[in-house]
Structure 1
């Protein structure tokens, strides 16, 4: 497949990039800082502006730049977006970038979209931990809720992947994917997130669904 990865140099995105390349996909790695890809598994070409490599390309820019985003998603089969929720200086960045991505996908005819959000936004227990998290992370969680609403209202073939607490441990396999709330929301390694997200891209049964993902 041809896959665009938005947020490809973040702590999770770099694992998704590496796994996509390991599987032999043609990858467009979109990042705000192309220098962060140095020494990492590399897409083939560095692309700025409107030049394109016919195989694997890298596009640098902000996820709210419609021209750069359109260049990244044009001609791909699927988009995986891993954008952290906003902060006090930029409280709406994830939702705004996602809306830009969806508009670009509509314009270029790209249909498959997988986005990540935090599972604690919908979890019900443990109550005290969730209460604390929602206070401490009120801004990024609100941004993630706005992102989910925008995605769910679109007519794309979307999947919302809600992730539990992420760790940097070694890969153990794919995560546990559930349509319902998680009985035991175990921590999930970023390497296993990569495996799970790429599996989701290929699963038509998860189109237009929000799923909750944790470690096994």
Structure 2
């Protein structure tokens, strides 16, 4: 399978590239710098470049968006506009999107709207939630899936084990390696067309979700 990964040099995108290559897929690693990624074809491109995105989508079986809003004070509106443009340019190509934990809900309240949500992460989390709202309203022709992490996501080990849920966290934490496993499992055996789901490592439970340090 030919897979293109935007954000291929990031913490999450890098693991998705590695997991894709591990399974024998043909991977195009797309980043702003075009940095070389062993085993993949490197490509320099901006997500906002709609013409390039449309070309990439038409030339691949699937595109993974593993990008985040600016974390250096940049305008989140630019990232959201680029995401919206990508949604409109994917055509019939399978689109898998790395979502944010902040848009998940506990007792009907989004994590990013909870008073306990860490303030430094709130703006990014709400921008990620807005991207989810955008893709949910995309035309029926868009074949999308969004995978949101547990409230804590960080590098660790690849266990290959995870549990899933739909709108509420499935557990406290997920390693970036196992998040990538879940993403590739969904890509190879689709079961969430035009839907979001979330993953967590099974040995961690919901008891600590309320005190977890969230990702966006």
Contact persistence 2:5–2:29 (CA under 8 A): yes
Contact persistence 1:115–1:159 (CA under 8 A): yes
Q: CA deviation at 1:191?
A: 0.7
User: Structure 1 residue aligned with 2:159, among 144, 168, 172?
Assistant: 172
Q: CA deviation at 1:185?
A: 2.1
Any residues of structure 2 matched to 1:93-172 within 5 Å, and which? 93-106=78-91, 109-110=92-93, 112-124=94-106, 130-133=114-117, 135-154=119-138, 155=140, 156-164=142-150, 165-172=152-159
Any residues of structure 2 matched to 1:36-55 within 5 Å, and which? 37=36, 40-43=37-40
1:34 partner SS: coil
Pairwise CA RMSD of aligned residues? 2.4
State the number of aligned residues.
196
Q: CA deviation at 1:153?
A: 1.3
Post-superposition, which runs of at least 4 consecutive aligned residues in structure 1 deviate over 4 A? none
Q: Deviations over 1:185-207 (max 9, x none)?
A: 22111111111101111233211
Aligned partner of 1:73 in structure 2 is 57
Contact persistence 1:2–1:78 (CA under 8 A): yes
Name the TM-score, length of structure 1 as normaliser: 0.81
Question: Mind listing any 5+ residue stretches in structure 1 that lack a counterpart?
Answer: 44-56
Question: Mind listing any 5+ residue stretches in structure 2 that lack a counterpart?
Answer: 203-216
1:92 partner SS: helix
